[in-house]
Amino acid sequence: MSFDFHTKDLSGSSFLITGGAGFIGGHIAEYLLKNNAAKVRVLDNMVNGFTKTLDILKQYPAFEFIEGDIRNIDTCKAASKNIQYVSHQAALGSVPRSIKEPLYFNEVNVGGTVNMMMAAVENKVSQFVYASSSSVYGDEPTLPKREDRVGKCLSPYAATKKTGELYAQVFADVYGLKIMGFRYFNIFGPRQDPDGPYAAVIPLFVKGIMQKTPVYINGDGEQTRDFTFVENAVQVNIKGMLTQNEEALNKVYNVAVGENYSVNYLYVKCQQALNSQFEANYREPRAGDIRNSLADISLAKNNLGYQPTKKFEDGLMETISYFKSIYSATL
């Protein structure tokens, strides 16, 4: 990453990243390790984690790994011991999967999150940040999405993330936990998982175009998203963990760029970057999906000094070149 998102010397600071072998968590852990944090501990059960991410992190002597599950309170307490800052990224993603497996999503995303908050309180963690989601906006039609206007949840996944926000407010008020949440808007970038039935759209498009395997667009493709490069998610986590602005605490923030693009536009950009005319197939809209998404990011800018460092097209080019290098080896 080409930017420094901190001014503090990290050589005396200890961090825990849950889900740190996963996509966003892995990038956060790598940033901290590259910037000489004293200790970067990752807790991951490897359900959504990658050994290739661990291989990158293992190069740094300050790295520690605990293979464990946030559904186990004792694991959470052990992982949080002697830790100053927690970035809680461990979760199950995917709207359609949550519709199939609501109980599992509740156990991990609600039960696991409460475990982590409780462990942080017991271990006197200095500051705690956690991943929420733009899905909590549900059927609220107003654009841009503003943190104080939410609609009705449209999926079990959205409900679990909204519940996490409710617990965060309670843990702040009742236990004095210094906490804040981040509503991620369609985070993408290198190392995002292109495989499995619930893979994200950008790696799916790139893989399909390169390997000439069927690519599907849900609905008419004109639905819009505030696609956000992963570097921006790293930035807000670092700034959130380290901020000394008391006004910034006990809030939830949109993490996005503040620009939206249609899925059709995204697909054309992928075609152009890969010099391909390979066409996508259109299918029924997906249950639980919102139609349009665009974030107001002024709250994060004002309270955390957040400023997106990479816009959609630059981030997309970087992501495509990453996946090109992976898939060209397999073609």
Encode pLDDT of 56-82 as tens digits: 999 999 999 999 999 999 999 999 999
Helix 156-175 with 113-122: angle, nearest 10 deg: 20
- Report the alpha-carbon distance of residue 227 to residue 308 in Å, rounded: 12
pLDDT confidence bin for 313, thresholds 50/70/90: very high
Give whole-number Cα distances, 158 to 80, 105, 127, 184, 266, in Å: 26, 10, 24, 12, 24
pLDDT confidence bin for 301, thresholds 50/70/90: very high
Query: Over 70: is that where the pLDDT of 18 sits?
Result: yes
- Report the alpha-carbon distance of residue 53 to residue 193 in Å, rounded: 11
Tell me what the mean pLDDT of segment 89-102 comes to: 95
Query: Over 60: is that where the pLDDT of 331 sits?
Result: no
Q: Out of 31, 130, 137, 157, which one is annotated catalytic?
A: 157
Query: Over 80: is that where the pLDDT of 196 sits?
Result: no
Q: What is the pLDDT of residue 2?
A: 54
Query: Over 90: is that where the pLDDT of 7 sits?
Result: no
- Report the alpha-carbon distance of residue 241 to residue 19 in Å, rounded: 16
Tell me what the mean pLDDT of segment 23-34 comes to: 98
Q: Tell me which amino acid residue 140 is.
A: E
Q: What is the pLDDT of residue 80?
A: 98
Q: What is the pLDDT of residue 317?
A: 95
Q: What is the pLDDT of residue 117?
A: 99
Q: What is the pLDDT of residue 330?
A: 62
pLDDT confidence bin for 188, thresholds 50/70/90: very high
Tell me what the mean pLDDT of segment 107-124 comes to: 98
Query: Over 70: is that where the pLDDT of 6 sits?
Result: yes
- Report the alpha-carbon distance of residue 152 to residue 109 in Å, rounded: 18
Query: Over 60: is that where the pLDDT of 1 sits?
Result: no
Query: Over 80: is that where the pLDDT of 197 sits?
Result: no
Tell me what the mean pLDDT of segment 162-178 comes to: 98
Residues 6 or more apart whose CB falls under 8 angstroms from that of 123 comprise 77, 80, 81, 82, 83
High-pLDDT (> 70) share of the chain, %: 98
pLDDT confidence bin for 277, thresholds 50/70/90: very high
- pTM for this predicted structure: 0.95
Give whole-number Cα distances, 82 to 2, 8, 324, in Å: 30, 19, 41
Q: What is the pLDDT of residue 205?
A: 94
Helix spans in 156-285 (H): 156-175, 201-211, 230-242, 263-273
- For 138, other C-beta atoms within 10 Å of its C-beta total 18
User: Where do the structural domains in the chain lie, given as residue ranges?
Assistant: 12-185+230-257
Q: What is the pLDDT of residue 48?
A: 92
Q: What is the pLDDT of residue 115?
A: 99
User: Encoding tokens for residue 303?
Assistant: 């309270």
- Report the alpha-carbon distance of residue 324 to residue 210 in Å, rounded: 8
Pick one of 3.30.70.980, 3.90.1300.10, 3.30.70.60, 3.40.50.720 as the CATH number of 12-185+230-257: 3.40.50.720
Query: Over 70: is that where the pLDDT of 14 sits?
Result: yes
pLDDT confidence bin for 187, thresholds 50/70/90: very high
- Is there a catalytic annotation at residue 157? yes
Q: Which segments of the chain are extended strands (E)?
A: 14-18, 39-44, 63-67, 85-88, 127-133, 179-184, 187-188, 216-218, 224-225, 228-229, 251-255, 261-262, 281-283
Question: Mean pLDDT in the chain?
Answer: 95
